[in-house]
Amino acid sequence: MKLTQLLTIFLMTIGFTSQTLFAAELVKPSPNGISLPKNYKDWKVISMSHRIDNKTLRTILGNDIAITAARAGNTNPWPNGTILAKLVWKQKAEKQWPSAIAPDKFVHAEFMIKNSKKFKATGGWGYARWLGLDQKPYGSDKNVAQECMTCHTPVKDNDWVFTTPAIMP
């Protein structure tokens, strides 16, 4: 291989690596200091939901710790290190089959991060949300979790989590 070819491959590799690193860093952290979890788009599915009131589809994903816990039924409490992600899309009718509902515009990604020490004040969970495709951090101050917790209070005895892992064969 010629030196110039080697050099081209080298520069392309550097370019690619820095692009992927920067892509994660460009997203600003939540006002409460929580950073967007890396690689969450590669996580496995725990469940999904469909809100008929505001016409949105949701996929609930988990990191490896969450998936192991979900498969073992070890979810009350979820173990430390669990991260649950919820990705939300507006719904639309599937073009070729309108009675099927499909995801349309992306709304937001939100996360619950389990660390019973670090997030003791908020029930053992850190909460954060990023809006839209440009992943703008949600919330105006560090008390983002208060609003989340208020709504999650009905499931306080289920470790603050609504989702029951979907049944798998």
- The residues, any chain, with a CB within 8 Å of residue 62's CB and separated by 6 or more, are 43, 44, 46, 69, 70, 82, 83, 84, 85
**CA distances for 99 relative to 24, 30, 52, 155, angstroms:** 37, 38, 14, 32
Binding-site size for ligand HEC (CB under 6 A) equals 21
For ligand HEC, the binding residue among 3, 121, 151, 167 (CB under 6 A) is 151
Residues 14-43 that bind ligand HEC (CB under 6 A): none
- The residues, any chain, with a CB within 8 Å of residue 88's CB and separated by 6 or more, are 56, 57, 58, 106, 107, 108, 109, 110
Residue whose C-alpha is closest to residue 149's, from 141, 135, 161, 139: 161
* Peptide bond preceding 77 in cis form (omega within 30 of 0): yes
* Span near ligand HEC by CB under 6 A; candidates 61-69, 89-97, 99-107, 159-167: 159-167
- 70 lies in the site for ligand HEC, by CB under 6 A: no
Nearer to ligand HEC, 69 or 84 (CB): 84
Residues 87-116 that bind ligand HEC (CB under 6 A): 110-112
Contact (Cβ atoms closer than 8 angstroms) between residue 55 and residue 43: no
* Span near ligand HEC by CB under 6 A; candidates 10-18, 33-41, 73-81, 142-150: 142-150
What is the nearest approach in angstroms of ligand HEC to the Cβ of residue 10?
A: 41
Nearer to ligand HEC, 25 or 62 (CB): 62
Q: Could you list the residues that contact ligand HEC (CB under 6 A)? A: 49, 51, 58, 60, 84, 86, 110-112, 127-129, 138, 144, 147-148, 151-152, 161-163
